[in-house]
Amino acid sequence: MSKNSRPFTASNIKVLVLLVVVLLGMTFAANLLITSSENQDFLDRYGQIELGIPESAVLSLLGTPNERSSEFYLGQREEFEEAYERAAGSGATRYLMWHRDSDVVYTVGFNEEGNVAIVEAGGP
C-alpha cells in the first residue's frame, strides 16, 4: 500500500482534531452568548421588581422560581449579613428564589398580604 492510499495520515488526523477543537470552541461561545443574553434579560426583569407589588406580578416578570421557602436564603451568609438583617426586619414571611449566573440566588420576599417586602441577590 502506498503512502497516498492510506485513509488516515498523521496530517489528516491533525486537521480533523483541529476542526473538532474549532467546532467545540464555536459551540461553547454560542452557548455562552445565548446564556449571557438570557441572564441579562432576567436581570432586566428582576430590576423592575419594586416593594409592594403583588406576587403575581413578580411571577409574570421572572417566571417559575427554583425554590420556595419560609426562610430567607442567598447563596451564602458570609459577606451578606446586612441582607439577612434586612430580610429579618422586612416583614416577609415567605420567599421565592431564582438561581441564575454562577451560583447567584435572586430572592424576593413577600409579606402576609402577598406583596413584595424585600428584594435581594447574592451568592459566592
Strand pairing partners for 94?
Answer: 110
Look at 28 and 112; give whichever has higher pLDDT: 112
Three-class SS state of 18: helix
The CA angle 106-109-112, to the nearest 5 degrees, is 165
Look at 75 and 28; give whichever has higher pLDDT: 75
| Identity of residue 8 | F
pLDDT score, position 109: 98
Three-class SS state of 64: coil
pLDDT digits (tens, 9 = 90+) for 16-65: 777 777 666 555 544 444 446 668 888 999 999 999 999 999 999 999 99
Contact by Cβ (8 Å): 109, 97: no
- pTM of the predicted protein model: 0.68
Residue 92 CB-density burial (10 A; 0-12 exposed, 13-18 middle, 19+ buried) = buried
